[in-house]
């Protein structure tokens, strides 16, 4: 590897554009207003995102995309995270990556050009037991008369009612496999919205019982490790963004709120942990851009990728959760109220922390890679 | 000068072989980890002889001018030597203040006479140098130095005391920051800088016993000590500027050092190596899931520090708070080291309670390193002061 972190002019421009865009389209007043909307984001805003080309970033040019890497998607996702934007971009990108690695030619030809131009896709990978082992689903697919008959329940399916298609993981003949479900194959009643800690999300339970699809819906390959890595990286990027604005929120309050005739930021008991929030942010951001660099480099080994991305997820989760937690505390009584924005960030932090492995789990996965 | 890759590779091979053949090996006692920890005559003589051997072989001060005792070669040769020394973990070059701070300063700003007089002795370790910046009452606030230097004919009369004088008992010269004028427009204006001789009546380096029970530095007392006026560097009142130039060398912000390693660069991988050969209750300690988790946590933090360094070099990723990475570097690296050294003790079972003695794990090196690691979390501005500085200068929070 040449440099631990590659950051191109192109990434820099994307970062500037995205920070600007997300700041404009997702001020915290709108974030709050959207908490009660049916969908995460208005169609018009999603269309603008598509028009900016962001849904096409990681899709190869042969499929109508821009042919760039996750390194170019990360600055966009970081910016969205910073402004607590919830969009289908992360999951659509994960689906695109999945199809590229594991899809049939027909699946790629059908879906990748659509995804590039803004079709929404998502995945059902997790189940009710909350397991992080993506390649050990308990939902099943059984071949019956030329059809795949699905059973079981998926959960935490993001933006499911907005999605044009959903890829789910199932066991077929004892093997973990991926199945592509077109929107038309999913009965409306199969989706039930879940109550989740981050209220900017639209999360659904997907009941597979009674759904059957043609054999061509099966993805010929699997790529669970890569799916996990893509999602760890993008969630970490989102966390870095949220972490940065949590720090800003804390600093603003520490500089304006007075107690005992002094700005509370002058007290070392608040000042020093706020510096820890900053150092945590610097660390997370470094890991995320390093993780993107490693992921996109052709000569990275699978161990290189696993180490870089698990570290990124561990550091980002721990750092953002700490920042959110302290943000509540440092706002005092106001921090205990719904009105204080600190809760928005803490809830976002906790959601991201527990998706695809928190820091403790990541360390346990890293141990054999680093120690043995 | 154009140096081709092949010649450099051949040189690296030559140095590598020389170091393998001439590494002075185990002295039979625990060696210090840096010049700040040299506490016994045996340690000192061993390290002084080693530096001289390296210099005599032509591997020290390689880029310094030939006429003063240097090698007159391109810097790249010295860099190769330094890298190989670090790789083979040979003992460090003990005349650190001379090699890295005083020497470059004299070469940059000194008179011809000073260069002739001092440089060779710095390189061959005949003349050991120490530093007289910090004072007992002022910690790291150098600008408030109170040691007085009063002009009397061709001499200055020095009174007061300096602290943390590493190698003070062995030093022939001190770079000394002293106050020549108490009435200046500000505290910095009255300071002057001397290349002061130590073997003068009235200068008494008093060894101080550290928390490790070792002697590793001195408090140096000046009682009407008379030093020649011509050993001043720069003019009267320019001491602060000269001291700042010295600190630039100390912090490695500018080149010009004689080269060679100046400390044993212990890092988290050394702790991992210790963990791999440690047992707990008869089983490999790395079978314990909690130990594994802590070890991984330290490896992640070490990686964080190195990646932050990489990010720090990319302006577009530091636009919001450009100073955050650089200004937190000391805090992060010294605290991490202190914590992983503490962890290294916990890998030793009941032997964690031993101290410097043959029966201790690695002769008690880890206990000593842990104790000595506080010198970095305290010296040069304590961790707590660093937190204040970060909070105020980087985050813009109100002063405490």
- pLDDT tens string A173-204: 999 999 999 999 999 999 999 999 999 999 99
Catalytic residue ranges of B? 250
The closest CB to that of A255, out of B275, B297, B397, belongs to B397
pLDDT of residue B252: 65
Do A301 and A224 touch, CB atoms closer than 8 A?
no
Look up residue B323 and give its two tokens.
């100073």
Q: What end-to-end distance do the CA atoms of chain B give, in Å?
A: 54
ipTM over 0.90: yes
Enumerate the residues of chain A whose CB falls inside 8 A of the CB of residue B320: 244
User: Is some CB atom of chain A closer than 8 A to the CB atom of B389?
Assistant: no
The closest CB to that of A363, out of B276, B296, B320, belongs to B296
Classify the phi-psi angles of A225: left when phi > 0, otherwise alpha if psi is within -120 to 50, otherwise beta.
Answer: alpha
User: Which phi and psi angles does B164 have, rounded to 5°?
Assistant: 60, 35
Task: Look up the pTM and report it.
Answer: 0.91
| Residues present in chain B in total | 400
Question: How far apart are the CA of B281 and the nearest CA of chain A, in angstroms?
Answer: 20
CA pseudo-torsion sign A61, A65, A70, A71: positive
Tell whether the model's pLDDT for residue B1 goes beyond 50. Answer: no
Distance CA B130, CA B92 (A): 16
Q: Tell me whether residues B397 and A266 touch, CB distance under 8 A.
A: yes
Look up residue A12 and give its two tokens.
């820099």
Enumerate the residues of chain A whose CB falls inside 8 A of the CB of residue B395: 251, 271, 274-275, 278
Q: What is the mean pLDDT of residues A227-252?
A: 98
Q: What is the mean pLDDT of residues B149-169?
A: 96
Enumerate the residues of chain A whose CB falls inside 8 A of the CB of residue B297: 363
Question: Which chain B residue has its CA at the smallest distance from A272's CA?
Answer: B387
Question: Which chain A residue has its CA at the smallest distance from B333's CA?
Answer: A279
Enumerate the residues of chain A whose CB falls inside 8 A of the CB of residue B304: 283, 286-287, 315
pLDDT of residue B247: 83
Look up residue A337 and give its two tokens.
């109220």
Please provide the average confidence, as pLDDT, over all residues in chain B. 93
Determine what percent of chain A is predicted with pLDDT higher than 70.
99
pLDDT in tens, B53-86: 999 999 999 999 999 999 999 999 999 999 999 9
Do B154 and B232 touch, CB atoms closer than 8 A?
no
Degrees (nearest 5) of the Cα angle A16, A17, A20? Answer: 85
Degrees (nearest 5) of the Cα angle B280, B282, B287? Answer: 55
Question: How far apart are the CA of B295 and the nearest CA of chain A, in angstroms?
Answer: 8
Determine what percent of chain A is predicted with pLDDT higher than 90.
99
Q: What is the mean pLDDT of residues B335-347?
A: 97
The closest CB to that of A371, out of B286, B307, B321, belongs to B286
- Reported in sequence order, the residue ranges of chain B that DSSP labels E, i.e. its strands, are 129-132, 148-152, 155-166, 173-179, 191-197, 203-209, 215-228, 232-233, 279-280, 283-284
The closest CB to that of B398, out of A255, A360, A364, belongs to A255
Distance CA B318, CA B313 (A): 9
User: Is some CB atom of chain A closer than 8 A to the CB atom of B34?
Assistant: no
pLDDT of residue B182: 79
| Pairs of CB atoms within 8 A across A/B | 123
Enumerate the residues of chain B whose CB falls inside 8 A of the CB of residue A274: 391, 395, 397
* Nearest Cα residue to B357 out of B112, B122, B29, B1: B29
* Nearest Cα residue to B215 out of B26, B43, B27, B25: B43
Please provide the average confidence, as pLDDT, over all residues in chain A. 97
Q: What is the mean pLDDT of residues B154-170?
A: 96
pLDDT in tens, A210-225: 999 999 999 999 999 9
User: Which phi and psi angles does A321 have, rounded to 5°?
Assistant: -65, -40
User: Is some CB atom of chain A closer than 8 A to the CB atom of B393?
Assistant: no
């Amino acid at each position: 590897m040449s440099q631990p972190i590659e950051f191109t002019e192109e990434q820099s421009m994307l970062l500037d554009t995205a920070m600007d865009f997300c700041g404009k389209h997702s001020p915290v007043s709108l974030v709050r207003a959207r908490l009660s909307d049916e969908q995460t984001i208005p169609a018009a805003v999603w269309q603008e995102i598509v028009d900016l080309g962001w849904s096409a970033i990681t899709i190869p040019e042969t499929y109508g995309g821009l042919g760039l890497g996750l390194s170019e998607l990360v600055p966009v996702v970081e910016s969205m995270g910073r402004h607590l934007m919830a969009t289908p971009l992360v999951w659509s990108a994960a689906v695109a990556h999945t199809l590229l690695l594991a899809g049939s030619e027909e699946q790629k030809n059908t879906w990748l050009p659509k995804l590039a131009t803004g079709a929404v896709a998502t995945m059902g990978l997790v189940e009710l037991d909350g397991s992080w082992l993506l390649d050990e689903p308990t939902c099943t697919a059984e071949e019956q008369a030329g059809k795949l008959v699905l059973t079981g329940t998926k959960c935490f399916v993001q933006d499911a009612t907005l999605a044009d298609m959903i890829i789910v993981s199932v066991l077929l003949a004892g093997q973990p496999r991926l199945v592509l479900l077109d929107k038309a194959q999913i009965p409306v009643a199969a989706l039930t919205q879940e109550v989740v800690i981050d209220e900017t999300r639209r999360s659904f339970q997907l009941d597979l019982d009674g759904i059957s699809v043609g054999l061509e819906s099966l993805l010929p390959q699997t790529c669970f490790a890569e799916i996990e890595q893509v999602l760890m990286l993008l969630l970490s990027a989102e966390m870095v963004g949220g972490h940065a604005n949590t720090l800003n929120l804390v600093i603003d309050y520490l500089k304006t709120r007075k107690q005992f005739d002094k700005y509370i930021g002058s007290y070392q008991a608040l000042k020093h942990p706020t510096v820890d929030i900053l150092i945590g942010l610097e660390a997370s951001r470094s890991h995320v851009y390093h993780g993107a660099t490693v992921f996109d480099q052709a000569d990275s080994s699978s161990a290189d990728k696993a180490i870089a991305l698990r570290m990124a997820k561990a550091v980002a989760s721990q750092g953002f959760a700490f920042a959110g937690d302290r943000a509540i505390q440092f706002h005092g009584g106001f921090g205990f109220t719904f009105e204080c924005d600190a809760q928005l960030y803490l809830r976002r932090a906790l959601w991201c922390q527990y998706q695809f492995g928190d820091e403790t789990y990541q360390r346990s996965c890293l141990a054999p890679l680093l120690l043995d | 000068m154009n140096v081709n890759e092949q010649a450099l590779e051949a040189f690296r091979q030559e140095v590598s072989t020389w170091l393998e053949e001439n590494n002075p090996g185990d002295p039979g006692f625990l060696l210090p980890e840096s010049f700040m920890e040299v506490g016994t005559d045996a340690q000192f003589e061993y390290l002084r002889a080693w530096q001289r051997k390296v210099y005599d072989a032509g591997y020290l001060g390689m880029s310094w001018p030939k006429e003063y005792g240097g090698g007159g070669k391109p810097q790249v040769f010295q860099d190769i030597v330094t890298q190989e020394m670090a790789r083979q973990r040979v003992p460090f070059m003990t005349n650190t203040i001379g090699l890295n701070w005083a020497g470059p300063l004299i070469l940059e700003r000194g008179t011809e006479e000073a260069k002739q007089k001092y440089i060779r002795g710095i390189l061959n370790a005949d003349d050991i140098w120490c530093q007289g910046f910090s004072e007992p009452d002022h910690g790291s606030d150098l600008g408030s130095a109170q040691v007085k230097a009063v002009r009397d004919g061709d001499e200055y009369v020095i009174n007061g005391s300096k602290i943390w004088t590493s190698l003070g008992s062995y030093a022939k010269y001190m770079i000394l920051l002293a106050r020549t004028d108490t009435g200046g427009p500000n505290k910095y204006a009255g300071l002057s800088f001397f290349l002061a001789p130590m073997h003068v009546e009235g200068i008494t380096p008093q060894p101080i016993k550290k928390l490790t029970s070792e002697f590793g530095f001195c408090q140096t007392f000046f009682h009407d000590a008379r030093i020649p006026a011509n050993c001043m560097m720069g003019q009267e009142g320019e001491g602060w500027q000269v001291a700042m130039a010295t600190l630039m060398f100390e912090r490695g912000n500018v080149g010009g050092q004689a080269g060679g390693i100046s400390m044993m660069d212990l890092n988290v991988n050394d702790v991992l190596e210790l963990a791999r050969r440690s047992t707990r209750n008869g089983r490999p300690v790395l079978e314990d899931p909690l130990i594994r988790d802590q070890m991984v946590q330290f490896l992640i933090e070490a990686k964080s520090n190195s990646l932050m360094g990489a990010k720090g070099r990319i302006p577009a990723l530091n636009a919001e708070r450009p100073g955050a990475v650089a200004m937190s570097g000391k805090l992060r690296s010294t605290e991490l080291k202190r914590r992983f050294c503490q962890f290294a003790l916990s890998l030793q079972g009941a032997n964690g309670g031993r101290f410097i003695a043959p029966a201790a794990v690695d002769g008690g090196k880890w206990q000593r390193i842990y104790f000595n690691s506080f010198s970095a979390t305290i010296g040069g501005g304590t961790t707590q002061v660093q937190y204040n500085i970060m909070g105020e200068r980087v985050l813009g929070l109100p002063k405490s």
